[in-house]
Structure 1
Amino acid sequence: MSLDAQYFADLYATNEDPWAFRTRWYEKRKRELLMASLPRQCYQRVFEPACANGELSALLAERCAELLCQDLDPTAVGLARQRLAGLRNARVELARLPAGWPDGCFDLIVLSEVGYYLDPGDWLQVIERAVASLSYDGGLLACHWKHPIVGCPQDGREVHRMLARHLPLYPQFQHEEADFALAYWSCQPCVVDLDETCL
């Protein structure tokens, strides 16, 4: 993460939900759109870096056999672990992007509200590591606030432009509103899931 860890520590020092993920209709609706945009009912292995307090993570856990979440802030990791308590398929780790990128292969990587905290060089490393970590038919979903954020090296538009420019994947879905962009890319040209059974 290009921003200093203290930036996030300060946010969590006075508020367990600094972006109001739990209470704002905007955030709830965006999560529901994100989940509805996933072309498969179920995924085998999902990676969600920058999971914050785990609100999106809880929904992702319902759609996969194994979920790995990360965040660089210890308070966020603790909150996400509480949110996912009892879900045996979900794990939360303390790690910093891009250096803390996990080993292994994923059939879904969710980059939600994370790119603008990274400078373009670090964001490019994340993109490259994501591509290298996808399974042969894996997908990458990205969702970002489009407006500038004070102190952040990029905004959501720049983040998604870099994704479009550097992902050697097939664009499958793009949804854009005044405030956020949501897009899905796949390693294969077709992502129709003929096996409707959940894992």
Structure 2
Amino acid sequence: MSVEDTYFDSLFKGNDDPWAMRDRWYEQRKRALLMACLPRRQYRSVFEPGCANGETSAELAGRCAALLCSDTAAAAVALTRQRLQGQPHVRVEHGRQPQQWPAGTFDLIVLNELCYYLDSAALDELIERALASLSADGQLLACHWRAPIEGCELDAEQVHRRLRHKLPMTHLLQHEEPDFLLDLFSRDPLSVAQHEGLA
């Protein structure tokens, strides 16, 4: 069974940064790596489910024409809205994934520290919904902490193995560290250098 909403609600009770995304060097560095791994300077439309308090959302907002963020915790939605207020190209919604996957087409979907909270069936549904909403040249970036998380059926290795198996897309990038895994999948098989005529 996927982790319940009440778990995430409890994390945000009296704490606007339960994973210390703002202050920990680990999180700051990982976020910088995540952004550097995106092969395009600018995206048309980005979806970030599981946005937490909006630390990664704030970085993504500068790289796209339209950003949709969502989270299952109402407090996380409120924090992200506050963080990104005054940016009309950003929308933040309250919703549980994959059940409340949004309508629309995205050329980038960012699954950041999200998928191990799902059970196997929910992860398969999320992958199907992501594929259905990706544009013809769409990309999917996944990044997950490798240590086991109590109460979760899946770990980072299982999540990324499943993504590699089920996504019929070019595997453009893989970054592996003792702490986390990062993979980028793309319907556009060309590298950055190929796009610029250098390879």
- Same fold per superposition (TM over 0.5): yes
Alignment match, 2:99: 99
Cα 1:155/1:139, change in 2 over 3 Å: same
Gap runs ≥5 in structure 1 = none
Matching of residue 132 in structure 1 with residue 132 in structure 2: yes
Alignment match, 1:19: 19
2:188 partner SS: coil
Mapped contact 1:40–1:193 kept (Cα < 8 A):
no
Q: Counterparts in 2 of 1:168-187, with a 5 A limit?
A: 168-187=168-187
Q: TM-score, normalised by structure 2?
A: 0.95
Superposition RMSD in Å = 1.5
Q: Counterparts in 2 of 1:21-60, with a 5 A limit?
A: 21-60=21-60
- TM-superposition CA deviations, 1:9-60 (whole Å, max 9, x none): 1111131100000000000000000000000000000000000000000000
2:192 partner SS: coil
Mapped contact 1:51–1:69 kept (Cα < 8 A):
yes
- TM-superposition CA deviations, 1:97-144 (whole Å, max 9, x none): 111001111000000000010001100111111111111011000000
Q: Among all aligned residue pairs of Structure 1 and Structure 2, give the percentage whose two residues are the same amino acid.
A: 57
The CA deviation at 1:192 is 3.4
Mapped contact 1:108–1:140 kept (Cα < 8 A):
yes
Shift >2 Å, 4+ stretches: 191-196
Alignment match, 1:85: 85
The size of the alignment, in residue pairs, is 196
The CA deviation at 1:161 is 0.8
The CA deviation at 1:194 is 8.6
Matching of residue 71 in structure 1 with residue 71 in structure 2: yes
Task: State which drifts further: 103-112 or 7-16.
Answer: 7-16
Gap runs ≥5 in structure 2 = none
The aligned amino acid for 1:86 is: G
Q: TM-score, normalised by structure 1?
A: 0.95
The aligned amino acid for 1:136 is: A
1:14 partner SS: coil
1:129 partner SS: helix
